[in-house]
Structure 1
Amino acid sequence: MERELPLSVLRYVPPGTVEDRFVRVVGQGTASIGLRGRWPDDAETDSYGYAKYDGVEVLFNCDDVNWLQPADRHTVFVHVDKWGDLPRAEKLAAHLGSTVLGEAQLGW
């Protein structure tokens, strides 16, 4: 399967049903799993959710959202707003006990 990567599939599947198989198939290739949604409005940071741009994405064996920098690790991207919203991304990461690493990148 690796020789067919990167591969893009748009399909909703219930959480917990394909993740382990997906990671095994990807192997050392580049791929992603994304979940679009809408982050709640946050008056404290003057940030508002946008269903078209909000979501979370895990990139496997890659460091950039456009799949141009292969890596030997996985990267989680928090998609916020069309142009990025660093205070919002930082707050969402802190909610999960994490921090934002690196510079903002334009994604989906």
Structure 2
Amino acid sequence: MPLSLSYNLYCVAYPIINSCDFNFVSILRKKLSTKELLDHSLFKNKDFISTVLSEISKKIEPNIIQNLKDIKCFPVFVSSEIYQLKNKNTFLIEDLKNPYLEEE
């Protein structure tokens, strides 16, 4: 269920199968310098994670942020060009499998 959807932020929480816990996923559009992008330790840095959480907390309920555990950050790169595949018989598709609709 989406918690926030805007130009710069997308947040969703979804239940974990056979658990009372939820996974929280957030995609935040954030400009980083070339130096920051090359610093792979940045995404594990507590100060950086705090600034990201601070930006996210402006758009969703603070109690959600306070209850997060095992937080991980990953860069997502954006391109204005569409990647052209060399093999004409290969297609890119999105996997929209919903585990709750699968039969056990």
| Same-fold status (TM-score > 0.5) | no
Higher relative contact order, structure no. (Cα contacts within 8 Å, ≥ 6 residues apart): 1
Tell me the TM-score normalized by structure 2. Answer: 0.29
